[in-house]
Structure 1
Amino acid sequence: MYEKGLKIVVSGDICINSLQWVTEPQNSRGLNWQNHLNVHSVLKPGESLLLAKLVALATGASIHSPKIDDIELNISKDFLRSIAELEPFPMSADKKKNKKVYRIKRFLGFAGPSSNNPKLLPIIDDDENADIVIIDDENNGFNSNEKFWPLALKTPGKFPIVLYKMNNPIGSSALWKQLQKFHFEKTIVVINGDDLRSKGVNISKSLSWERTAQDFVWQINNNPNLAFLANCHHLIVPFGLEGAIYYRDGGVNEAYLYFIPYEFEGGSFKDTDGKMYGLTSCFVAGLAKSIASESYNKEEFPLLIGEGIGEGIVAVQKYFVNGFGENVEEFQFPSPTLFIEEEDDFINRDLIQDVRIPDLTHKDSNYYWYILSDKSSTNLAEIAYDIVKNGVNDVLNSIPIAQFRNLQTVDRTEIESYRSIKNLMWEYISTKNTVRPLSIAVFGTPGSGKSFGVTEIAASIAPELIEKLSFNLSQFRTPLDLINAFHKVRDFSLEGKIPLIFFDEFDSAFEGKLGWLKYFLAPMQDGVFRDENSIHPIGKAIFVFAGGTNSTFREFHGEDIKDENERKQFLLEFKGAKGPDFISRLRGYVNILGPNQTDERDQLFIIRRAMLLRSLIERKVPHLIDDNGKAKIDNGVLRALLKIRRYKHESRSMEAILEMSMLTNAKIWEQSDLPSKEQLKLHVDEEQFLRHLMHDAFYSEKIESLAMAIHEKYRMLSENSRNIDLDFIVPWEELSEELKNSNRDQARHIPNSLLKINYDIISVKENPEFVQFTEKELDILAEDQHTRWYRHRKKAGWKYGVIKDNKKKTDPALVSWDNLPYDKKDKVYQMVKIWPEILSKSNFKIERLKFLSKSDTSD
């Protein structure tokens, strides 16, 4: 389990955990005390004592550490004690499983030692030649008392690997200075994300992994309080039970995010599931398991740390699930199976994903980074096709996905907005004695699903408590209509329900522009409405203001207006309509992104379309999905539905096209099942739709001729090269089948590569003029082309070798793009440059994907 002969030392602050819990009377016929509630207590090792136990379980090694043989008999008042109250909690979120385990209901605080300084313990059989030193620094005296430090840290010339778990992020302790001076290169610092936040480090929580990661990177690069950590060679920050960031300084700073795709920070378990101490210690033990598993060189060290982070996340999940067992006094804590993979484990190592976090200079730069694009070896169009064909869960298993009952989304902006709204609703519902409604706004184009999204969020929180009501203000004629609506809301509140009220088209005109806003100010602020001379309380309610004339919040309050005079005029009218007063009463908003592309930065629209289309097929024509979960749909139909530039009525148009297709008795959604050209015209540009429909057929016919053209270019480049590659100078007819397939693979891949630089190809009747790529576009295409070739070669059994050998299948070019020699890079550039020309000769035009203008969004 660990490298033979490895010596591991664990030390640090000492704490004894006193656990207390109450059970029902044992019986009604025994002694008097047995007829009353029974209070139980037990002592458990904490801090470095617990860490040593966890590391021993994780590594299987003999650990050198402080020890207390019998904690109940030998406990001293000089030790620091932590006191916690336990209670049984469901072991898992699955309501069908009623097994309960003890976890912490609340931390009661500390019982301080008899002296001011908590007692520390020496390391039993300390060894100055320790290979790994693991420190638990809780800032309770150990970091300033050199007497108790491991010999391997104090002995000159000794350089062990150090896992330094620190609770208090300061760089002024004596221990930190010792590590910084003598051991920094091989020190791995582990500090919990909540510990950073407690020191005022502003890192978002429970919104999206991208947002958390980017906040962290910005803070580590700009916050002076973290300057001492920014120079760490290895820094790991766990975030909840679900993720961690690995930041390293190897000359160039890099940061990587490790995460559970379907969870967010704090999402695995709620506060109502209890708490546990020792979570970060368990994570460190998982990290130690990986590092202690084998010998390694300097280059492999970060890879082992990455493996260890995955081990740590898995272990922490299992540690929390097990808690203190069903019976605290009989349960062996920590569990011996904690670091052993079992079939019924809650989570496994393969599920943990990682992605490099982009480098940020300014906090808002690269804001639209999304993990989906970085985690995908294929482009978004291919992922979209796969989602429709095989389902969301089978495809999106390595990127963050948020689910709120029947609502699923992978779009970062939607995830963050929806989770913000969910957090607001949860806090509001949980808070007692609230006198005003919770007011949120929802914006989006007609048909984008504004009502559905918020309804699903509410239903995911409290489906039995929340009752939905809808009122369309564009249909109201007088303020009396609104008063009657408030009476209906109040009736629901009096019944003990929390009404979720949608005020659709709240931004419609009434007595002037935005005329309804002034009638909502008192209900939003004070939770009351006036009916003639009477004032009525509304009660607990959630107001949802759904925009009808504005598709985004920015548009609603005029932020998108560029002309200065026009903006001044708008703000004057907005103020007169009480717009600023209305906004000040909102507690949140969300922009719903429908199936249409919103602007140039919105690259995930095709994924949204795919998820919506898959959902429509599952709900409306489930017979088109076979027993293996595969949707039976023609590739041309699928391409047209996903790649059409715009749906005139957003999701309603997608739904209408499906409903108008003749699918009742169909076994596959064929092109002949689609509605007529005139019917399509109601919902899409019918000419463009039909062009996409036939694209695959046209392109498939030209694969062979394109592959031959690619080979001819290779021949030319090889003949003009100093190092002639004999494999590429033979005519197409004499080329090996393997190399022919490689050229065909490149030809098939061209459309997908072009999507990465925002180009698509369309079939035309005549040879069109062809474009020239910019240097930046060439860089992207060349790297993508080499990566595709690299994967194709590896899949065929090739590996890196100093000399190219067809029999041994070795090739010196089988390296990453960054390590590829200049002359070989130049060949790739030259190849990519001819794509427009060979496509043009095959009657394909490269066309930049167009983005919606303002006029495109109007129906």
Structure 2
Amino acid sequence: MLRELRESSDLQPLTRCRHLLVIFESEGAAWLDFSERTTPANAIDACRVQFVYDAAAIEGEHARQIKGTAFGFLSCLAASVAWQMTRNLETPDFAAALEQGLSAMRDLREKGHGSVSHPGAGFPAERLAAVIKDPGYRFSRAEFPGSAPKSAPASPKSAGMGPSQAWSLLVDSQRCRQRTDDQPAYELARLVLLNGPIALYDVPHVGIGNLIAVHRDEIESLRTLDQLICRYRDHDKGKLPLSIGIFGPPGSGKSFAVSQLAEALLGKQRWLEFNLSQFDTLAELNGAFHQIRDRVLQQQLPVAFFDEFDSQHYRWLQYLLAPMQDGKFQQGQLTHTLGKCIFVFAGATSLTFETFGPPAPSQDALDDERKAHREFVLAKGPDFRSRLDAYLDVVGPNRRMVVAPPDKKAGKSKRAVSNGNNEITETISGYSFREDLEDLTFPISRALMIRSKLGCARDEKLDIDEALVRALLRAERYRHGARSLDKILQPLQAARPGRLQRSLLPPRGQLDMQTHATGFLAQCDGAEPARTVPPMSEADVAAVAPAIHRVWRELGRKGGWLKPWLDAEMADLPAAIEKYNKKQKDPEERKPPWLGKFLIESNREAAGRMPEILDIVGLRLASGRWAADEEAAVRQHLEYHLELLAEAEHHRWMQWHLQQGWRYAAKKDEDHKRHDCLLPFAELAEVQKNKDRDAIRHYPDFAKEAGKKIVFAAADDPHATKPRRSAAKP
């Protein structure tokens, strides 16, 4: 977008605006603030960009899920922008306006202009105004200078030569003064491993069933498959099967990826699985086709998963061509029609679709190379490739590999080795591979895979030794992919739900079968010191608690939910409640006299837990005032982890209330200590979640009230202490 604004003569006049809003349907919007430019030539580089986005969706995805349409979508956004300008004309909060407008657009898409049972109601202005006031949808926010983003790599082929200059939200979310841009996402992976997928809420990702992907290429591939399967399911007449290829190293989780996609879109009952390496005769393959045909005759859309289709020297490819091309298979003298179905072919000999089959021989190729390619052609390998409708490359728990210049000294297959520059190289079926140094997301894939194999619930907090976390996420390589990781995790899984300690690891010899044991154990020993979180001083609590109440009070006024007996300074709450009670003739309307002091203690408790919550994402309180760029970096870091921190804030708020004797009830009742928000964070209404999110967003303001600032905690933090280490198993 910024490149087009910079280079397109047709779009450059737009940069003369003071504020430019760009909408990506209801999935996101960008606010470009050009107020700091000095000349028209530097408008883009000098602008400040705020991006409001749905981290789990792409442009148009919400609309595709809903049949029908409406009109007035941009009116929703215009109304939210106008409302924000009436509230503060000098410095309107356009980021909030975009979030409110996008929420209203989604509400209009889902509910239209009202129920068909109430015709003639007209444009639902009142309903949409309520949504703008209290958004019912959650959008993430990111801020960056216009000079930061650059183009992403044109294709995976251009990757692998080192960290690119392509800007990404995920890389930016990991950036702070102590870290470099080419650092893999170990910090975010640690949060995912300990807290679950909520740590990814504000990072672009795709979630399909239990499958979650964060790498740009995986996201695009999965979304392409999602759209392809949906179109085939809803619109295709089904004369030909839909053919999809799945490629990746053994143990990368190919069957899991496609099964989650199929279950999410078609249901569990549609899945059929056949391992072609176990077939001996053509009759067995025809039997598989008959099973598929039977499902079709039952009015189902079956998904047939052909595992190891490239086994036995590509023997089965010739028999798969006719079903893929014509939707028919021959048995004896009879030709049978398959009908509408989906074929999924998972290979076992190729890391990627690009390297399926041996490379075409060059003029100086060896005889073995020419023979291998000739056999692949005779086995109908190129014909099979041309009949695939789509493909997915699955990586697994290791860093992805990309094709490197050919190694003439390498044989057909060579074990992964280090080339002396801490870079893994490997040769498989005539192709040389090297690690993709631009793949910074592989630790996150490991974290998700570890949680899945340990049987963690989606919102479960994992109790695990920090040294073990470091080793599992930073291991150089798992020799056999997900299978090796599974072997290492088996003794840990048996120890759950107890704390997972380093002493549960397999013996060194068995560990070395699955990974480089010396390096793995060295990672355990090299775990960063565990930070001790010093409690907030009494003076700081006394300064911050009233600020927390003031912000909460102001939000309540804006939202229209502030009760009259709470509209007072924190210290004056007991008197305000007493004054309110005197005006109430009905005793049922009076508030308990202890409520004022309780609310004061509640605000003090909220102030006291700030250091603990900040520590979750590597932040701490420090004395002094920060510069503008430091404050902006901290505020953006909080935004990138907003959902995780809001959940932590709510959990600790709930725990404290339960300790004070409060219990859940559908309706709030102070007299009997009942509260309707004593629920897990995931079960709260968006309006209630926003209170916790707003509290986190105002943490920098709370710190200022105490004369402090929020900083990134470095490894040499003076508050750091050496972790307690578990003894290694002999």
Distance in 2 (CA, whole Å) between partners of 1:426 and 1:787 is 41
Matched, 1:372 2:170: yes
CA pair 218-428 structure 1, distance change in 2 beyond 3 A: farther
Matched, 1:606 2:606: no
CA contact 1:662–1:673 (8 Å) conserved in 2: no
Equivalent position of 1:385 in the other structure: 190
CA contact 1:353–1:399 (8 Å) conserved in 2: no
Local SS of the residue matching 1:458: helix
CA pair 584-246 structure 1, distance change in 2 beyond 3 A: farther
Equivalent position of 1:615 in the other structure: 452
Equivalent position of 1:588 in the other structure: 390
Local SS of the residue matching 2:270: strand
Matched, 1:505 2:299: no
Equivalent position of 2:212 in the other structure: 408
What does the per-residue CA deviation read over 1:73-125, in whole Å, with 9 as the maximum and x for residues that have no partner?
xxxxxxxxxxxxxxxxxxxxxxxxxxxxxxxxxxxxxxxxxxxxxxxxxxxxx
Equivalent position of 2:399 in the other structure: 597
CA contact 1:414–1:593 (8 Å) conserved in 2: no
Local SS of the residue matching 1:268: helix
Matched, 1:496 2:299: yes
Q: Offset of 1:581 from its aligned partner? A: 2.4
CA contact 1:317–1:346 (8 Å) conserved in 2: no
Give the 5 Å matches for 1:420-435: 420-435=224-239
CA contact 2:295–2:302 (8 Å) conserved in 1: yes
Letter in 2 for 1:634: D
Distance in 1 (CA, whole Å) between partners of 2:531 and 2:19 is 53
Equivalent position of 2:123 in the other structure: 333
What does the per-residue CA deviation read over 1:564-583, in whole Å, with 9 as the maximum and x for residues that have no partner?
84798876665444333222
CA contact 2:635–2:700 (8 Å) conserved in 1: no
Letter in 2 for 1:354: A
What does the per-residue CA deviation read over 1:263-314, in whole Å, with 9 as the maximum and x for residues that have no partner?
3323335454431111122112222222332132xxx57xx43343223212
Give the 5 Å matches for 1:832-851: none
CA pair 588-259 structure 1, distance change in 2 beyond 3 A: same
Q: Offset of 1:785 from its aligned partner? A: 14
CA contact 1:444–1:591 (8 Å) conserved in 2: yes
Structure with more helix by fraction: 2
Equivalent position of 1:652 in the other structure: 483
Give the 5 Å matches for 1:14-413: 216-217=1-2, 219-220=4-5, 234-247=19-32, 250=37, 251-253=42-44, 256-296=50-90, 304-326=93-115, 327-329=117-119, 331=121, 333-340=123-130, 346-348=136-138, 351-356=139-144, 358-360=148-150, 364=154, 369-376=167-174, 380-393=185-198, 395-413=199-217
Distance in 1 (CA, whole Å) between partners of 2:79 and 2:364 is 59
CA pair 652-371 structure 1, distance change in 2 beyond 3 A: same
CA pair 283-678 structure 1, distance change in 2 beyond 3 A: same
CA contact 1:291–1:308 (8 Å) conserved in 2: no
Equivalent position of 2:668 in the other structure: none
Q: Offset of 1:689 from its aligned partner? A: 1.8
Between the two proteins, the alignment pairs up a number of residues equal to 503
Distance in 2 (CA, whole Å) between partners of 1:630 and 1:260 is 25
Runs (5+) with no aligned partner, structure 2: 159-163, 180-184, 401-435, 534-610, 620-628, 639-698, 717-721, 723-730
Root-mean-square deviation over aligned CA pairs: 4.4
Equivalent position of 1:459 in the other structure: 263
Distance in 2 (CA, whole Å) between partners of 1:630 and 1:701 is 19
Local SS of the residue matching 2:55: coil
Equivalent position of 1:555 in the other structure: 355
CA contact 2:149–2:167 (8 Å) conserved in 1: no
Equivalent position of 2:552 in the other structure: none
Equivalent position of 1:447 in the other structure: 251
Distance in 1 (CA, whole Å) between partners of 2:97 and 2:632 is 31
CA contact 1:384–1:610 (8 Å) conserved in 2: yes
CA pair 685-468 structure 1, distance change in 2 beyond 3 A: same
Equivalent position of 1:637 in the other structure: 468
Local SS of the residue matching 2:272: strand
Local SS of the residue matching 2:330: strand
Give the 5 Å matches for 1:758-773: none
Local SS of the residue matching 1:471: strand
CA pair 796-564 structure 1, distance change in 2 beyond 3 A: farther
Local SS of the residue matching 2:88: coil
CA pair 790-572 structure 1, distance change in 2 beyond 3 A: closer
Local SS of the residue matching 2:514: coil
Distance in 2 (CA, whole Å) between partners of 1:283 and 1:786 is 26
Distance in 2 (CA, whole Å) between partners of 1:701 and 1:406 is 33
- Please give the TM-score of this superposition, normalised by the length of structure 1: 0.52
- Bigger Rg, structure 1 or 2: 1
What does the per-residue CA deviation read over 1:596-642, in whole Å, with 9 as the maximum and x for residues that have no partner?
112211111101111122223335xx7xx9xx832111111211111
CA pair 796-343 structure 1, distance change in 2 beyond 3 A: closer
Equivalent position of 2:658 in the other structure: none
Equivalent position of 2:524 in the other structure: 693
Distance in 2 (CA, whole Å) between partners of 1:686 and 1:815 is 36
Local SS of the residue matching 2:454: helix
Letter in 2 for 1:237: V
Distance in 2 (CA, whole Å) between partners of 1:236 and 1:369 is 20
Equivalent position of 1:26 in the other structure: none
Local SS of the residue matching 2:468: helix
Equivalent position of 1:516 in the other structure: 316
Equivalent position of 1:115 in the other structure: none
Structure having greater relative contact order (Cα 8 Å, sep ≥ 6):
2
Distance in 2 (CA, whole Å) between partners of 1:649 and 1:419 is 28
Letter in 2 for 1:346: G
Letter in 1 for 2:57: E
Distance in 1 (CA, whole Å) between partners of 2:261 and 2:493 is 34
CA contact 1:472–1:504 (8 Å) conserved in 2: yes
Aligned sequence identity (%): 31
Letter in 2 for 1:311: Q
Local SS of the residue matching 2:455: helix
Distance in 2 (CA, whole Å) between partners of 1:592 and 1:230 is 42
What does the per-residue CA deviation read over 1:360-414, in whole Å, with 9 as the maximum and x for residues that have no partner?
3687285965422223456722221221212211x22211232112222222221
Equivalent position of 2:591 in the other structure: none
Matched, 1:525 2:325: yes
Distance in 2 (CA, whole Å) between partners of 1:604 and 1:688 is 20
What does the per-residue CA deviation read over 1:456-505, in whole Å, with 9 as the maximum and x for residues that have no partner?
111111216x6212222222334443233222222222222222111212
Distance in 1 (CA, whole Å) between partners of 2:15 and 2:636 is 35
Equivalent position of 1:128 in the other structure: none
Runs (5+) with no aligned partner, structure 1: 1-215, 704-741, 751-782, 801-806, 817-830, 836-841, 843-859
CA contact 2:274–2:307 (8 Å) conserved in 1: yes
CA contact 1:370–1:412 (8 Å) conserved in 2: no
Distance in 1 (CA, whole Å) between partners of 2:531 and 2:127 is 58
CA pair 231-789 structure 1, distance change in 2 beyond 3 A: closer
What does the per-residue CA deviation read over 1:389-446, in whole Å, with 9 as the maximum and x for residues that have no partner?
12211x2221123211222222222111111111111111112422110011111111
CA contact 1:243–1:257 (8 Å) conserved in 2: yes
Letter in 2 for 1:261: A
